[in-house]
Structure 1
Amino acid sequence: MKDFKKSDFHFELPEELIAQDPLEDRSGSRLLLLDKNTGEIKHQIFREVIDCLEQGDCLVLNDTKVIPARLLGVKADTGAAIEVLLLKRQENDIWEALVKPGKKAKPGAIISFGDGILTGEIMDVVEEGNRLIQFHYEGIFEEVLDRLGEMPLPPYITHKLQDKSRYQTVYAKYEGSAAAPTAGLHFTKELLSLIEGKGVDIAYVTLHVGLGTFRPVKADNILEHHMHSEYYQVTKEAADKVNGAKKKGKRVICVGTTSCRTLESATDENGILREGCGNTEIFIYPGYRFRILDGLITNFHLPESTLVMLVSALAGRENVLHAYEEAIRERYRFFSFGDAMFIG
Structure 2
Amino acid sequence: MSTKLVDYDYHLPDELIGQKPREPRDHSKLMVVDKENQTLEHKTFFNIIDYLKPGDVLVRNSTKVIPARLFGKKETGGVLEILLIKRVSLDTWECLLKPAKKLKVGQKLEIGENKELVAELLEIKEDGNRVLRFEYEGVFEEVLDKLGKMPLPPYIVEALETKDRYQTVYAIKGESVAAPTAGLHFTKELLEKIKEKGIEILDVFLEVGLGTFRPVQTEDVLDHKMHEEIFEIPLYTVERIKKAKEENRRIIAVGTTTVRALESSVDMDGNLISKTGSTEIFIYPGYKFNVIDALITNFHLPKSTLLMLVSALSNREFMLDVYKEAVKKEYHFFSFGDAMFIY
Q: Is the 8 A contact 1:35 1:315 kept in 2?
A: no
Identical counterparts, % of pairs: 54
Please tell me whether residue 323 in structure 1 is matched to residue 322 in structure 2: yes
Distance in 1 (CA, whole Å) between partners of 2:292 and 2:246 is 13
| Residue of structure 1 in register with 2:284 after alignment | 285
Q: Deviations over 1:246-274 (max 9, x none)?
A: 11001100000000000000022433211
* Secondary structure of 2:281 counterpart: coil
Give SS of 2:183's match: helix
SS at match of 1:271: coil
**2:112 is aligned with 1:114:** yes
* Structure 2 unaligned blocks of 5 or more: none
- How far is the alpha carbon of 1:173 from its aligned partner? 0.8
Cα distance in 2 for partners of 1:269, 1:300 equals 32
In structure 1, C-alpha distance between the alignment counterparts of 2:335 and 2:133, rounded to whole Å: 31
Q: Which amino acid in 2 is paired with 1:95? A: W
The answer on 1:173 being equivalent to 2:168 is no
Which SS does the other structure have where 2:277 is aligned?
strand
Task: State the one-letter code of the partner of 2:271.
Answer: I
Q: CA deviation at 1:183?
A: 0.1
- Pairing 1:102–2:100 present: yes
> What does the per-residue CA deviation read over 1:1-51, in whole Å, with 9 as the maximum and x for residues that have no partner?
x44111111001011111101112100111101112232111111111011
Letter in 1 for 2:4: K
Q: 1:269 to 1:199 in 2, by over 3 A?
A: farther
* 3-state SS, counterpart of residue 82 of structure 2: strand
Q: Secondary structure at the match of 1:322?
A: helix
Dislocated runs of 4+, deviation >4 Å = none
Whether the aligned pair in 2 keeps the contact of 1:218 and 1:225 (CA below 8 Å) is yes
Residue aligning to 1:247: 246
Q: What's the TM-score once normalised by structure 2's chain length?
A: 0.98
1:8 aligned residue = 7
Q: Contact (CA 8 Å) 1:120, 1:136: kept in 2 or not?
A: yes
Counting only pairs closer than 5 Å after superposition, residues 13-28 of structure 1 correspond to structure 2 as 13-28=12-27
Give 1:162 shift: 1.2
SS across alignment from 1:102: coil
Task: Please report the TM-score for the alignment, with normalisation by the length of structure 1.
Answer: 0.98
User: Is 1:184 aligned with 2:183?
Assistant: yes
CA distance in 2, matches of 1:27, 1:232: 27
Deviation string, structure 1 residues 191-220 (Cα, Å, up to 9, x no partner):
111111111111100000000000110111
Distance 2:223 2:102 in 1: 32
Aligned to 2:80: 82
d(CA) in 2 for partners of 1:270 and 1:33? 32
1:90-111 deviations in whole A, cap 9, x for unaligned?
1130001111112033211211
Which stretch of the first structure deviates more once superposed, 205-214 or 242-251? 242-251
Q: After alignment, is 97-106 or 259-268 more displaced?
A: 97-106
Task: Describe the SS at the equivalent of 2:101.
Answer: helix
SS of residue matched to 1:128: coil
Q: Distance in 2 between matches of 1:283 and 1:74?
A: 39
The letter for the 2-side match of 1:129 is G
Aligned pair count reads 342
Are residues 1:140 and 2:168 paired?
no
Supply the AA of the counterpart residue of 1:111. Answer: L
Report the AA paired with residue 296 of structure 2.
I
Whole-angstrom distance in 2 between the partners of 1:101 and 1:319: 43
Q: 1:3 to 1:334 in 2, by over 3 A?
A: closer
Q: Identify unmatched segments of 5+ residues in structure 1.
A: none
